[in-house]
Amino acid sequence: MNGSLRRNTMILIVSLAAILVLYLLFFWLPQRRNSALMLGTIQKRRGEIDRCRQQADQLPMLNGELEQLESYNRQVAERIPAVLDVREFLKTMHGLGQQHAVTISTWSPSLASDLVGIKQQPVSLTVVGKFQAIVKMIYDLEAMDRLVELTDLDMKVKDVAGRAEDMVEAKLSVRLFARPPKSPANSQNNS
């Protein structure tokens, strides 16, 4: 009887040991390794998520900045026509001259050139009138819808026979701007 019990005990211990070894080798250890790998990936991903979140935090600011830029550009672009149109400018100048009693005696446009994607053309003008009227006209010119740049101003007292009031002759250099519409290829690149 004792021999049978010992044999049964041995069989049980050996089987349990075999099952334990198999369990450890083929289930527990791979499972642990896999879990460790997954935990490592989770930790790595969390770090990456933090970095991404830091970048994503800029999103509202960036959106706001873009809106501001677009609004500012739209506002200025409205003041820059698509073509230089010197004739239209001269018409405006004559209108301003009539309004302020200033005579435009000479004008001469120079060659148009390119300035960072914007066309520019200097126009020289000589106007005659009273000092205050000329200053008002220059003010209106600066404040008009179209963006222009006054680069030079040369004013001198003009002797006009038979006129008691001091007349002033002013030479003005005005730079006109125009932004040609972007080609479809360029606008596609920018969008």
Partner 1 sequence: MTEIDFLPAEYWNRRQSQRDQWYLLGIGVASLILLLASAFHEAGNASQIRAKLAAVETEYKEALVQVEEVTRLETRRAPLATDAKIHSLLRARPSLSRVAAAIATSCPPRLSLNTVRVRPVKLNRSETKTAVVVAPSPGASAGPGSPDLVAEQLERFQADRDITRLAVELTGIAESDLDVTDLLAGLDKAGCFSEVKVLSIDFLPIGVLELREFKVHCMLAEVF
Q: Kindly state whether residue 188 participates in binding partner 1, applying the rule CB under 8 A.
A: no
Tokens representing 157?
A: 């007292």
Asked whether the beta carbons of 138 and 150 are under 8 A apart, the reply is yes
Stretch that binds partner 1, among 82-90, 93-101, 102-110, 138-146 (CB under 8 A): 138-146
CA–CA dist 161, 39 (Å, integer)? 98
Q: Kindly state whether residue 101 participates in binding partner 1, applying the rule CB under 8 A.
A: no
Buried b (16+ CB within 10 A) or exposed e, 37-58: eeeeeeeeeeeeeeeeeeeeee
Using a 10 angstrom Cβ sphere, with 0-12 exposed, 13-18 middle and 19 or more buried, the burial of residue 159 is: exposed
Q: What are phi and psi of 127, to 5 degrees?
A: -125, 150
- Residue selected from 14, 21, 34, 99 as contacting partner 1 according to rule CB under 8 A: 34
Q: Which is nearer to partner 1, 161 or 185 (CB)?
A: 185
Shortest reach from residue 59's CB to partner 1, in Å: 6
Q: Kindly state whether residue 27 participates in binding partner 1, applying the rule CB under 8 A.
A: yes
Return the axis-axis angle of helices 58-77 and 29-56, rounded to nearest 10°.
Answer: 30
| Residues at the site binding partner 1, with contacts judged by CB under 8 A | 1, 4-5, 8-9, 12, 15-16, 19-20, 23, 27-28, 31-32, 34-35, 38-39, 41-42, 45-46, 48-49, 52-53, 55-56, 58-59, 62-63, 65-66, 69-70, 72-73, 76-77, 80, 115-118, 131-132, 134-136, 138-139, 141-142, 147, 149-157, 177, 186, 190-191
